[in-house]
Chain A
Amino acid sequence: MRFFSYFSVLHFSNCYLIGPDGPGDAVLIDAGVFDEGLLKLIEDNDLYVRWVLITHVHHGHIQGLQTLLKIYEATIYTFDTERLDCTARPISESKPPECGSFSFKVLETPGHSNDSVCFLIDGMLFSGDALSAGSVGHTPTGYGRALLLSSIRKKILSLKDNVLIFPGHGPPTRLEIERRFNPYLEEKL
C-alpha cells in the first residue's frame, strides 16, 4: 500500500491518496480541491482514482469532486448522499465503503457536522474535521460541541495509542499525543 498527503491552499485542507504498491486503483479521502498538483501526484504514481471517501460534506472537503469526476470514473462514498451535487453511495458504521482490496472501517463522529465520519485503515485514522492536532472541530452550538466530544471519546479515544491520525486540517498526529496534550478534550460535557 502507498500513501500520499496533499494540501490545498484553497481551503487549507488536506486530502489523502491511498494506492497499491504498483500501478492501479486508488482511494482519495476528501477532495477539497482537484488541481494540477493533485493530478500530477496521481498520474506520476500510475494511480487511477476509483473511489472517493468523503469525511463530511463541507466545501473544503468536496469542492474538487466535479473536476475529479470529469477525469476519473470514481465511486463517491459519503454518510449524507443528499447534500452532494453528484451521485454517491451511502456509508455508515454498519455499511463500510467497498474499495477493492482496501478495507476501511467507518466511525460515525457527528458534532462538527451531522454527517461527519472518520475512516480507519491499517492503524491510520482519517479524522476529517472531528479531531486535529491539539484541537477539535468547530461546532456551531453547545449541543454540537457535546456531541463531538462524546463522539471523539467513544469512537476515537478507544482506539490504540499508536494509531496515526491524518486530519482534514493541520499537521498529522497520533492518538497518544491527543490523549496526552489535546486541551480541548479535557472540556467537561
Chain B
Amino acid sequence: MFSLQTCSVGKCVNRALNRRDVCRKHLDDPQAYDREIADVLSGSELVADLNLSSLVLEDLDLSGKRIERCILSNSDLRGVNFDGSRISLVYFDFSVLQNCSFRAGKFYNVVFAGARIENCNFSGSDIIRCNFCGISCAETLFDESDLYASRFIASTLNRIGFKDCNLKQVRFEHAEISEADFRYSNTEDAFFETKAHKL
C-alpha cells in the first residue's frame, strides 16, 4: 500500500518518508537519508510500498529490480540504471531524471508527469499506461517500445526517438513536439489533435 502518513512536525501537510516520521523538509540530515535509502534499494530485489519523495540518487545500479507502489515524487535521479527493471504504480512526478537508463524494462501505471527527463533511454521497454503528461523531455529514446495507452498530453518533447514503437491509444494532445523520430511507428493509432475522446 502507498505510504500516506503525514509528517509529524506541527502543521506540515507533506507525507512522511519511510523509516522516518517526518517529510524531506524536516529531515535533520537529508544526505544521510539518501545514502541509507540507496543501500536499501541496492540490497533488495523487491522494493514496495515506500514513500521516498525528494530522494537524491546518483550513479546507482538498480537494474533488474521490482519496484511497486512507491512514491518518488520530486526526486533527483542522475545516472541511475533501471535496465530490465519492473516498475508498477510508482510516482516519479516532478522529478529530474538525467542520464538514467530504463532499457528493456516493464513499466505499468508509472507516473512521470511534470518530470524533467534528459538524456534518458527507455528503448525496448513495455511502457504501458504510463503518465508522461506535462513532462519536459529532451534527447531521450523510447525506440522499439510498447507505449500502449500512455499519455504525453501537454508535454514538451525535443529530439526524442519514438522509432518502431507501438503507439496504440497513446495521447499527445497539446504537446509541443520538435525533432521527434516516429519512423516505423503506428502514429495513426495515436491521438495528436485536440478532440473529444469517448470513454
Contact = CB atoms under 8 A, between A and B. Distances in A.
Tier of interface size on chain B = 35 or more
B137 interface: no
Contacts of A173: 111, 113, 131, 133
- Per DSSP, chain A at the interface is loop
B111 A177 contact: yes
Interface residues of A, number: 37
The 8 tightest CB contacts between A and B, nearest first, are A134-B153, A181-B134, A134-B133, A171-B131, A177-B113, A171-B129, A183-B174, A123-B4
Contacts, number: 109
Contact of A171 (B13, B151, B174, B196): B151
B198 A183 contact: no
B109 A1 contact: no
Contact of A162 (B15, B129, B130, B149): B15
Contacts of B110: 171
Contacts of A182: 133, 153-154
Interface string B97-141: 000000000000111011000000000000001110110000000
Contacts of B32: none
A12 B113 contact: no
Contacts of A112: 199
A60 B198 CA distance: 12
Nearest to B53: A162
B142 interface: no
Given A133-B133, A183-B154, A122 B4 contact: yes
B11 interface: no
Contacts of A160: 13
A146 B109 CA distance: 29
A70 interface: no
Given A160-B13, A174-B93, A3 B2 contact: yes
Nearest to A123: B4
A124 B111 CA distance: 15
Given A134-B134, A171-B129, A183-B153, 8 more contacts: A5-B89, A60-B199, A129-B199, A135-B171, A162-B13, A164-B91, A176-B94, A182-B153
